[in-house]
Amino acid sequence: MRAIDVLIADDERRVLDELESMLRADPRVREILRAATGSEALRLLAEREVDAAFLDIHMPGLSGFDLARAVSRFAEPPAIVFVTADEAGAIEAFDVQAVDFILKPIRRERLQRAVGRILALRDSPLGPDAPPDESIPVRVGNAMRVVHRSDVRWVQAQGDYSRLVTETESHLIREPISELEQRWHDAGFIRVHRSYLVLRDAITAVRLVGAHPTLTVAGEEVPVSRRSIPIVREAMLRPREAGR
């Protein structure tokens, strides 16, 4: 596995030093470029190709969002990770297709998860045909956060809303399950019931006989409708694809 080259940009030297120190301690990271402004970051990114850019949102010159939009026009744009104290920026981060959104103060394990996400995206066996991960803004109390589609294990319909269930939590979003089904089909999600959409690779047990067919996903039993049994059987026969 080739280590990644990254750029970090923040107008606070203390944050840059902290971010660089944490990234240098990760053997999956090779070269680190530093920038103190958005304009300096754009110049460096135009001169050097990197795998990812870790950006503050509020910087002199170009903001992190401006920078993300600018590099999206590159032939091979880097993955964007926002590292910020601005919780309200989660929705706009979703709009510019950031792969992750980390709130300050920075935690080492959270940064390591972001590096893992970048590597998974880069090394997907599906290559350029792999569907990009999707960031979904969710409300937690009075703050906004981002949940990644790759962390979702199953979805439950609740009227015009959908509940996204990960390994550790769930979030209600205002989007019908039918729209998620269409958009997430190529990412390995299958409709197993009118009220349930599941990630095929997260299924750990299948029980399709008896009066109440079920799947086990992330430790929970999910019902399977009779009409969906052939779809489930066909999906389970296909080889699993890592790197979703």
pLDDT digits (tens, 9 = 90+) for 169-191: 999 999 999 999 999 998 899 99
Identical fold, 4-129 and 152-237? no
Amino acid (one-letter) located at 85: A
240 pLDDT more than 80:
no
Angle (deg, nearest 10), helices 64-71 and 38-47 = 20
Asked if 78 and 48 touch (Cβ cutoff 8 Å), the reply is no
Taking only the tens place, the pLDDT of each residue in 84-121 is 988 778 778 877 888 888 889 999 999 998 999 888 87
Q: Full-prediction pTM beyond 0.95? A: no
**Count of all residues that appear for the chain in the document:** 244
CATH number, domain 4-129: 3.40.50.2300
Query: Would you identify the CATH topology of the domain 152-237?
Result: OB fold (Dihydrolipoamide Acetyltransferase, E2P) (2.40.50)
How many whole angstroms separate alpha carbon 76 and alpha carbon 195? Answer: 39
Where exactly are the structural domains of the chain?
Answer: 4-129, 152-237
